[in-house]
Amino acid sequence: MDNRTANLILDEHRPGQTVDNNAAVAANRTGEATVQLVSNSFVIDIVERINELYHFKNFIFYISERLDLQNENSLDFFREFCIHFPLAPNLIFTRNYHASMPMVELISTPSLVMIYTTERDDPIMELAAQKLRGIRWLKTLFILFPKLSTTEFYVDFDALTQFSKNINNTFDWVWSKQFLNTVLITLQNNVYLLEPYPTPSIVNKTDSWKADEFFYKYSRDMKEYVLKTPILYDLPRVFKSDRPTNSYEDNYEDNGIS
């Protein structure tokens, strides 16, 4: 991987316009909110660390149409990704599609889902939730490209407030859609986890992340969480099953009721 540690994997894309990689820098100088940077090498490093533990057979990408797949940084990312993971097939989705068979029949497990989004309300989020219905127990990375006025969000109160709001809103959505095995990666190599039990809380693991701590088996330990309502209403409705009910669950103990 090259040494550009703050490259856009994907730039914001507007139909009919040419994307300029310098636009984000210029916008930052004028205080205009724009999609901010995520490190190519950092994303691949995290995926490598996770893959060493789980040996994924598929990588499933859901990529926002607000992001450009044709710029050099995007192409560079996928070239590097294929070099690092040459044997695992990649499935890439950017918009709704009509399939004759469900996603679960297109993949082998274990698989890693990677959702590239700009915010909670990005259409790619609902698309991913819809297409992953019934298999949202798959390990999932959310790569968030927030719109901020500066990359130095931690020294700008307004930018920090917006950044925090983006993180909270994204995890609110994650919880409501029953994704349990999730990690969020965003600009400045920030890493966040959702600890759902006993009450949902967001944990900043930026300075101390370890791949083997990313996907904790809450089905084995719900940390004294008490089920007070029928399973139908008690989100995220994901609990332990020792006996797989389908062949594609052979490597998993967590089943989602979605």
Per-residue pLDDT tens over the stretch 10-41: 333 333 333 344 444 444 555 678 888 789 89
- Quick one: CA torsion of 94, 96, 100, 105, rounded to 10 degrees? 50
DSSP string, 209-245: --GGGTS--TTT--TT----S-TTTSTT-EEE-SS-S
- Tally of CA atoms within 13 A in the half-sphere of 188 that contains its CB: 15
**Non-local CB neighbours of 245 within 8 Å, separated by 6+ positions:** 255
134 CB burial (10 A radius; 0-12, 13-18, 19+): middle
DSSP string, 146-205: -EES-S-GGG-HHHHHHHHHHHHHHHHHHHHTT--SEEEEEGGGEEEEEE-SSS-EEEE-
Per-residue pLDDT tens over the stretch 155-197: 888 888 999 999 999 999 999 998 989 999 999 999 999 988 8
Domains, the chain, in order of start with CATH, read 11-216 (3.40.50.2300)
One digit per residue, the tens of pLDDT, for the chain of length 258 reads: 333 222 333 333 333 333 344 444 444 555 678 888 789 899 999 999 999 999 999 999 999 998 888 888 888 899 999 999 998 888 899 887 776 677 878 888 899 999 999 999 999 999 999 999 889 989 999 999 998 888 788 888 888 899 999 999 999 999 999 898 999 999 999 999 998 887 888 999 999 999 999 998 776 777 777 766 555 555 555 554 545 555 544 444 444 433
Q: Residues 164, 169, 173, CA angle at the centre, nearest 5°?
A: 150
